[in-house]
Amino acid sequence: MGILPICVLLFFSSCHFSGTSKVNQAALAHMPDSSKVGAAHLPPEIAPVNAPFKTRDFQKPIFPKDTVNIMANGAIAGKKATEAIQKSIDEISVKGGGTVIIPDGKWFTGRISLKSNVNLHLNDHSELYFSGDVEDYQPAVFTRSEGIEVMSLGACIYANGQDNIAVTGKGKIFGPEKGGTVRSQVMDSVVIENFVSYKTPVEKRVYDGRNGGYIFLPMLISPVNCTNVYIEGVSLANTAFWNIVPIYCDGVIIRGVTVNSIGIPRGDGMDIESSKNVLVEYCTLSCGDDCFTLKSGRGEDGLRVGKATENVVIRYCLARQGHGGVTCGSETAGMIRNLYVNNCVFDKTNVGIRFKTRRPRGGGGENLFYENIRMNQTGKAFQWDMLGGRQYVGDLADRLPARPVNPLTPVFRKISMKNIIIRNSEWFAKITAIPESPLSDVTMENMQVKTENFFKAADLNRFTLKNAVITTADSSITLLDARHVTFDNVDFKVPGQTLTMNISGPDSKDILFQNCSPEKPAGWKTNTWAGN
């Protein structure tokens, strides 16, 4: 009688150890939480970057010592100071560069354009407010709106073809005031590619708002065709559209930035668009749309341009609210490749790691790496959506029939994720790929997960989840045309310790459970489902 309780105790102890040993607890223990990431924890210097692909040596820029206060050129607090600010930028750039100072106080302006070797510095208690009137952003400038090249308002802080430019300081930047013509003349009646033909020469795609005509909304900060861009410390709010958007840039560093665009339908935090060699670190985003976003052009126009977003590192960042923590897409025509997201926290974003594109968008993503991520989601932890909705692409949003592969067929492949803690989510993973281009070569490793629903996937090829503890209220796994799917060393903590598999589709085959608990789904004779 004395031996039996000890044996029972040893049995349950070994079961508990078996479950927790499926993850590397030491790796998870060293992951940052919200007390170590985000703008509040910005270090003074840039630490070396160690990415799974070759990156540049990111360094802070150096500017000449010359400075000019915008008040020296006639800026008056409380009055529109566009001319004084622009004159200060132009003059100091011509002299070889330096710093233009926005002093403490409230300053009002229209669009301003940065020039080479100029640091636009906002003092700690400065507030820069942008006009809501279309005429303050004329004439039209070259820009890209939702992946389509146009001539329109550009950005509140704009630059084109410049080198070594910066926006720094702890001041605040506010987007166009509400109630003005900027917000009332926006073209939002149809999907942009149905409004702007890719066959029209870009110089004739003019939407400048004259005579009450349409405009495309200005972004808050958007350098175009620039090299060596540096943005640090500022806070952004009340944007009309996306907040920080480098387009066709090479060498971008964004550090310690705070964004609040909650309640703004297209208020993305950052959109890295067809740019390369980018470092984003210690930023805090609370957004009305996606937080950290990677894009590379839309459909035929994006294919024509053919510029990838590549060699991007996002680290030590905090996403407090938004549609997606880190999102690839939906404009991906030029491809997104070599992305490394590490040591980040997503707190109550709807989706943690999000991939989205559409059949006629082209491109996609590959060589995407995610490591040391902590999530507390209101929706899905991982989501792939390659179909979209009929309101955007018509019947191409229907999964079947499979379409012929062409240059506009998107692809997501070669994706690695490891060392991830999910405290809460509605779904662990929902995958909606397309039959002619299945999601391929995905590895998830070393995960500790608590979720309501576990896994649902359509059109999947070569997927592995290994070394994980999954606590879920729903024990079902649903697979449609999924092949070469492996669950390796996974502890499923499910009701009744029973897994249910729902497999359909003629292409489904080679589903393997290896070293798992339970060993296999209910009703399986072995731990492998070879196919029909």
The conformational region for residue 485 under phi > 0 = left, psi -120 to 50 = alpha, else beta, is beta
Q: Is the pLDDT of residue 15 over 50?
A: no
Beta strands in 290-386 (DSSP E): 292-295, 309-315, 318-321, 324-328, 336-347, 351-356, 364-376, 380-385
Give residue 391's pLDDT: 86
Identify the three-state secondary structure at position 320. Answer: strand
| Residue 476 to residue 429: CA distance in whole angstroms | 12
Beta strands in 138-260 (DSSP E): 141-145, 148-152, 155-160, 163-169, 172-174, 219-224, 227-232, 235-237, 250-255, 258-260
Smallest CA-to-CA distance from 251 within 218, 232, 227, 284 is with: 227
Give residue 21's pLDDT: 67
Smallest CA-to-CA distance from 209 within 135, 148, 146 is with: 135
Q: How many CA atoms lie within 13 A of 95 on its CB side?
A: 17
Smallest CA-to-CA distance from 101 within 60, 66, 131 is with: 66
Say which DSSP state 14 is in: H
Give residue 19's pLDDT: 42
Cβ atoms of 305 and 275 closer than 8 Å: no
Whether 42 is in a domain gets the answer no
Whether 408 is in a domain gets the answer no
Residue found by looking up tokens 């491109």 in the block = 363
Output the CA angle 438-374-499, nearest 5 degrees. 55
Whether 211 is in a domain gets the answer yes
Q: Is the pLDDT of residue 11 over 50?
A: no
Q: Is the pLDDT of residue 194 over 60?
A: yes
CATH of the domain at 86: 2.160.20.10
Tell me if the bond preceding 518 is cis, omega within 30° of 0.
Answer: yes
Whether 150 is in a domain gets the answer yes
| Residue 164 to residue 116: CA distance in whole angstroms | 6
Beta strands in 161-265 (DSSP E): 163-169, 172-174, 219-224, 227-232, 235-237, 250-255, 258-260
Q: Rounded to whole angstroms, what are the CA distances from 145 to 148, 168, 251, 298, 409?
A: 5, 25, 21, 10, 21
* Tens digit of each residue's pLDDT (9 = 90 or more) over 473-503: 999 999 999 999 999 999 999 999 999 999 9
Smallest CA-to-CA distance from 55 within 348, 340, 460 is with: 340
Confidence category of residue 465, pLDDT binned at 50, 70, 90? very high
The first and second tokens of residue 183, run together, are 């917000």
Q: Which residues pair with 381 in a beta bridge?
A: none
Q: Which residues pair with 514 in a beta bridge?
A: 488
- Average pLDDT value over all residues in the chain: 94
Domain of residue 113 covers: 53-289
| Residue 513 to residue 527: CA distance in whole angstroms | 5
Smallest CA-to-CA distance from 496 within 465, 521, 478 is with: 521
Give residue 531's pLDDT: 85
* Tens digit of each residue's pLDDT (9 = 90 or more) over 412-427: 999 999 999 999 999 9
Q: Is the pLDDT of residue 9 over 70?
A: no
Whether 512 is in a domain gets the answer no
Identify the three-state secondary structure at position 359. Answer: coil
Whether 249 is in a domain gets the answer yes
Q: Is the pLDDT of residue 470 over 90?
A: yes
> In the chain, pLDDT over 70 holds for what percent of residues?
96
* Tens digit of each residue's pLDDT (9 = 90 or more) over 204-260: 999 999 999 999 999 999 999 999 999 999 999 999 999 999 999 999 999 999 999
Beta strands in 37-117 (DSSP E): 67-69, 98-102, 105-109, 112-113
> What is the arithmetic mean of pLDDT over 282-308?
97
| Residue 255 to residue 284: CA distance in whole angstroms | 10
Find all residues with CB under 8 Å of 22, minimum gap 6, and list them.
Answer: 467, 468, 469, 489, 490, 491
Number of domains in the chain: 1
Give residue 383's pLDDT: 98
Whether 300 is in a domain gets the answer no
Q: Rounded to whole angstroms, what are the CA distances from 362 to 337, 358, 393?
A: 14, 7, 13
Whether 199 is in a domain gets the answer yes
pTM of the complete model: 0.94
Residue found by looking up tokens 């070396």 in the block = 48
Cβ atoms of 178 and 132 closer than 8 Å: yes
Task: Count other Cβ atoms within 10 Å, centred on residue 50.
Answer: 10
* Tens digit of each residue's pLDDT (9 = 90 or more) over 17-76: 334 568 999 999 989 999 999 999 999 999 999 999 999 999 999 999 999 999 999 999
Cβ atoms of 164 and 116 closer than 8 Å: yes
